[in-house]
Structures are given as structure tokens and as C-alpha cells.
Amino acid sequence: MEEIAEQLKNFSVLCVEDEEGIRKRLVNTLKYYFAEVYEASNGEDGYCLYYENRPDIIISDIEMPEKNGIQLAKDIRKDDLSTIIIMLTAYSNEEYLLNLINLNINHYILKPLTSESLLDAIVKVFKDRLDKKILFCDELCFDMKNRELYYNDEIVPLRKRDKDFLILLYENKNMVLTYSMIEENIWKDKVMTSSALKTFIKEFRQRLPIDLVVNIPQEGYKLKVL
């Protein structure tokens, strides 16, 4: 767990909680583990901070004014299936929790929240990613822990944006990665022109030993099945 906690310092988190006392305690705990911690007191402000900063993980209460956690998750999941979302809830009935699963919520924590339950949840959702090796074929794999692509056990030199795009392709491998999803997740706070995207894809393909990208005309891109 210590190794995972150390690696969390490379990531950012958004905390959305309307109760000030709980939020402050949460933020103080999160600052110990994460490089960047953003906070919001309602879902509307939370979505704005998400859109501006693109945190790696969102921890949100469900019952909040202006926009609750469910609506916040729905808005995020329209174009983003990769950001980790953990929900804080006081409800434990099966039907309610099933709705969270259907929203692609990565994890939920039952209130009252403790530092132990919070850290356990964070380690659980991140461990699957940090220790994971994405196998594209026998010769090509991506090590999520080291964020390196290997071809026949040799590192393939990639830029940060290349790696982010490769992970995004994999995490959305069962669907088309639309232009808007690419702009919001890879370009983030910058404008993505069509020529910039074409140049990026061309250079991305040139850096890979095996072509992994399928162009879906007028829609976007998809991970090629090898």
C-alpha cells in the first residue's frame, strides 16, 4: 500500500462535497497523497472544475444542492469513461447501488466516511491501473505502472500525449473515440484543430512499431484489434 500511496503523488483529485466540515477533512487527507487537490461545494461548481482541470479522480457526495452527484457523474460520462469516480453515499440498498454501477462509477463508499475507508477505496481503484499491463499483442504491451510501451521488451519512445492517447484508446476500446472526447481528454484546455489532430495521429502512428489506430470517417478513432 505504501508503494501505491507514493505513486498517487503523480495524480490529481477533485473533491465535491457540500458539507464544509466533511469537505475540509477530506481535502486535508487528500493533500497528503495527491499532487493537486481541487474542491467544490456543489455539483455545478464541481463540473466546472472538472472541465477546467481534468483531474484523474473525482470523489463526490451524492446529495448536494444545484447539481447532485448522480447528475455530475452523468454529465462527465457523456464523453469521458476513463476518469475515476468514487461516490460517497449514505444509502446501501441494492437497487440504489446498482444505479451507481450502471453509471460506470468505479467505487462507492458508505457514510460515515473514515480515513481508512477513503484510502482503501482510492488504493483499490488505482491499483488496478497502476499494476496493470495492457497487452496489445505478444510483442507489444503498455506498463501502466511505469507508463512505458514495450515492443519485444524494448521501450518505445513516446511523448506524454502519445501515452495519454494510447491509454484513452484502450479504455474506450469497445467504442469509437470521438473527436470531442479526444479534444477534452488529450488537448484539455487547448483548442484542437482538425489539422493538429491529423498531424498528431500521423506522428503517433510513425512512432509505433505496430499500427493500433483505426480511422472511423466523420466520427473519430478506434483501437485496432490485433
- 172 Cβ neighbours under 8 A, 6+ residues apart: 81, 82, 181, 223
**pLDDT at 93 exceeding the cut of 70:** no
| Averaged pLDDT of the chain | 87
Q: Render pLDDT for 11-45 as a digit per residue (tens, 0 to 9).
A: 899 999 999 999 999 999 999 888 899 999 999 99
Q: Render pLDDT for 150-191 as a digit per residue (tens, 0 to 9).
A: 999 999 999 999 999 998 898 888 889 999 889 988 887 788
Q: Compute CA 127 distance to the chain's CA centroid, rounded to the nearest angstrom.
A: 13
Least confident segment among 94-98, 112-116, 155-159: 94-98
Amino acid identity at 172: N
What does the alpha-carbon distance between residue 22 and residue 62 come to, in Å, rounded to a whole number? 13
Which one is predicted more confidently, 145 or 215? 215
**pLDDT at 98 exceeding the cut of 70:** no
**pLDDT at 216 exceeding the cut of 80:** yes
What integer pLDDT is reported at residue 12 of this predicted model?
92
**pLDDT at 3 exceeding the cut of 70:** no
What does the alpha-carbon distance between residue 9 and residue 17 come to, in Å, rounded to a whole number? 22
What integer pLDDT is reported at residue 145 of this predicted model?
74
| Longest pairwise C-alpha distance within the chain | 53
What integer pLDDT is reported at residue 214 of this predicted model?
93
Amino acid identity at 116: E
